[in-house]
Amino acid sequence: MIRIELLDWERARAEAGAIRKAVFVEEQGVPEELELDRYDALSVHALARSETGHAIGTGRLLPVEWEDRHAVGHIGRMAVIASWRGTGVGGALLERLVAAAAERGDSEVALSAQSHAIDFYRAHGFEAEGGEFLEAGIPHRAMRRVLQPLRSNS
């Protein structure tokens, strides 16, 4: 069973950074100086672990931004090590980050999806908007998902 932890950057840095370097820098050719940024220290990081405790995937939820009086959470740096792709790790990470955004009161979540992953995000309730653009030399599309308000038990 896969376990998802939410961590600050100080606790996630070593393992999440290694996964991101393997996926983005080594596999996809993103310049290393673009991969780590000032938002890491400000974000909530999700770290997926295998049954044996090995870190196998990561993603982050940036600090809330306000757009037209709506709290919007931005998800990014979604990465799963190659041998674990297609096993549900990415979906579990994404849904945990979406839940974290809802828990803090965000009304929407947004992300920049690599174009090859658009169907993955659509399967998780995201809708594409706008045209394709390049980010770190890789084609992307903006996507959003409206969140349902959390119901109070009181």
- Quick one: what percent of the chain has pLDDT higher than 90? 81
CA distances from 123 to 17, 103, 120, 127 (A): 27, 21, 5, 9
Q: In the Cβ-directed half-sphere of 2, how many Cα atoms lie within 13 Å? A: 19
Q: Give the three-state DSSP class for 124.
A: coil
**How confident is the model over 16-27, as pLDDT tens digits?**
999 999 999 999
> Domain 3-146 classified CATH 3.40.630.30?
yes
CB 37 within 8 A of CB 123: no
Strand positions, DSSP E, 19-82: 44-49, 55-61, 65-67, 70-80
CA 1 to chain centre: 20
User: Any idea where the domains of the chain sit in the sequence?
Assistant: 3-146
139-149 mean pLDDT: 90
**Average pLDDT score over the chain:** 92
**How confident is the model over 100-118, as pLDDT tens digits?**
999 999 999 999 999 999 9
**How confident is the model over 4-59, as pLDDT tens digits?**
999 999 999 999 999 999 999 999 999 888 888 999 999 999 999 999 999 999 99
